[in-house]
A and B are shown apart, each in its own frame.
Chain A
Amino acid sequence: MQCGWKNNEPQMTARWTRKDLLGLRDLSADEINFVLETADAFKQVGTREIKKVPALRGKTLVNFFVEPSTRTRTSFELAAFRLSADVINISATASSLTKGETLKDTARNLEALHADILVLRHSSAGAPQFLADRLKASVINAGDGAHEHPTQALLDLYTIRERRGKIAGLRVAIIGDILFSRVARSNIFGLLKLGAQVTLVGPSTLVPREFEKLGVEVSYKIDDVLPKADVVNLLRIQHERQRREYFPGLGEYIRLFGLTKERAKHLKPDCLIMHPGPINRGVEIDSDVADGLQSVILDQVTNGLAVRMAVLYLCGGIAT
């Protein structure tokens, strides 16, 4: 923190000093706001005649996705292109991980190629931290196990702030598979730090009362929560992972927790409907609701690009 007339930026007190973005749990409210403000500036680059700035020219970014992902990876890739960085994509099947190479050895090889920024998605919680502690390169967590997905939460925060002008005091309901969701965790940390009230909703098997220790409310009755919510964030039911033991079936899930057309009528008229994607139309959200006026699902995608540009610029732009 700096203050005083010798400061070159008298209005802004915070400075960015981190090389890595591992999660929102570590960040202060000031740092989160710093990223959101920076994203504002980068969002505007998309409206210029030349949608590209030289900020990371000459830097090499490695998109290392051990778990499959299309939208997060392409969002990071486009963000890197707009910052003039060079990008290499490595997926789990294409990498030597399938040949038994350890994560550390893979990382050392990436470093030997002089990669400056490593964007990592991994099925194990803590993998980005492990590499950040060992590499000179900036490490950006693009989702690690059920731990954190910081850029998703930042783009959710950005979208809420853009639409509602603030975050403090808003009631945010996060609905669905909370237990296995890194998106939920990062959102909880970010929303609480910025002063929102958070309610988690879902089957008790997927939303244990344990979560109340973080400072959120837990509810098993979606119909009590919806009329009071300013934001509804629906998480994808990961039915492909066959978590049959956690709830009896999709039909019952839809009946108890799905945002149906009927339920959506009870939302406040200015309540925002969010979803990190990909949507299961007709499961956690009805098709008409996903495409309705209250839905900001596509804004989230657009804002994701600006937020990731900001994160890459900040973490990749400082001296390491």
Chain B
Amino acid sequence: MNQVKQNPPAAVPVMDAEAIRRALRRIAHEIIERNPQLEKVVLAGIPSRGVELARRIAGFIREIGKIDIETGVIDVAMHRDDVGTRPELPMVRASKLPLPLEERTVIIVDDVFYTGRTVRAAMDAINSFGRPARVQLAVLIDRGHRELPIRPDYIGKNLPTASREQIQVRLQETDKAADAVWLEKQ
């Protein structure tokens, strides 16, 4: 409890608020460039930080492209492949996607891209709602160490890491602390 909002020892700052803002703005530009039919795009965030990142990217798209695109929430807990292996379970949240998904482009948004297992679960979850025309992936940080053949379409920052290192992302809205990304050495 008393460690709240303190930086851990041996943590290296990677991005500050301005760097995060620029990265998300660039992702918004790339989404506009690559999707001529922007009105068909849905930004689906993975709780909880992915949802906030999707909201911010939608804000930049509104500013740059003068269009309101839809956002959604895609909860992956029910679709994970490690059920029964954890001693405690986090909260499952309801997914919210604009339906039907047919002929739409769903862009999955997450904070840190690591093994790829969360994104695989997210793709499964999306399929249970319908069959989108295409699914893309936007992440703030790609830290490497993929365990599945999945790669992001939009990357805020590539950050090569050792597997024992940890990436910590905090956002004002979800963590009640100033935007920042840290690399924590174990």
Taking a contact as CB atoms under 8 Å apart, the answer to whether B90 and A12 are in contact is yes
Give the interface segment out of B2-10, B37-45, B64-72, B150-158.
B2-10
Minimum CB distance partner of A58 in chain B: B84
Q: Name the 3 nearest CB pairs between A and B, nearest first.
A: A53-B78, A50-B128, A41-B92
Taking a contact as CB atoms under 8 Å apart, the answer to whether A6 and B87 are in contact is no
Q: A3-B1, A16-B88, A319-B86 are in contact. Are A41 and B128 (CB under 8 A)?
A: no
- Further 16 A-B residue pairs, CB within 8 A, beyond A5-B177, A59-B84, A320-B84: A4-B1, A4-B3, A4-B5, A5-B5, A5-B168, A15-B90, A38-B92, A40-B93, A41-B93, A43-B94, A45-B128, A53-B128, A55-B77, A313-B78, A318-B87, A318-B88
Contact of B142 with A by CB under 8 A? no
- A-contact bits for B73-102, CB 8 A (1 contact / 0 none): 001011110011111111111110000000
Q: A10-B175, A317-B83 are in contact. Are A38 and B130 (CB under 8 A)?
A: no
For B89, B127, B129, B177, the residue with the greatest tally of chain A CB atoms inside 10 Å of its CB is B89
Q: A9-B48, A45-B78, A55-B79 are in contact. Are A319 and B128 (CB under 8 A)?
A: no
Complex interface residues of chain A between 31 and 69 (CB less than 8 A to chain B): 34, 37-38, 40-45, 48-50, 52-57, 59
Distance, CA A17 to CA B86, complexed state (A): 9
Taking a contact as CB atoms under 8 Å apart, the answer to whether A314 and B89 are in contact is yes
For B3, B5, B91, B130, the residue with the greatest tally of chain A CB atoms inside 10 Å of its CB is B91
Contact of B170 with A by CB under 8 A? yes
Instruction: Name the prevailing secondary structure of the B interface residues.
Output: loop
CB distance from B94 to the nearest CB of A (A): 4
CB distance from A13 to the nearest CB of B (A): 10
Contact of A11 with B by CB under 8 A? yes
Complex interface residues of chain B between 132 and 160 (CB less than 8 A to chain A): none
CB distance from A35 to the nearest CB of B (A): 11
B contact residues around A34 at 8 Å (CB):
91
A contact residues around B33 at 8 Å (CB):
none
Taking a contact as CB atoms under 8 Å apart, the answer to whether B168 and A6 are in contact is yes
Distance, CA A56 to CA B8, complexed state (A): 36
Taking a contact as CB atoms under 8 Å apart, the answer to whether A317 and B89 are in contact is yes
Contact of A242 with B by CB under 8 A? no
Contact of A8 with B by CB under 8 A? yes
Contact of B103 with A by CB under 8 A? no
Minimum CB distance partner of A34 in chain B: B91
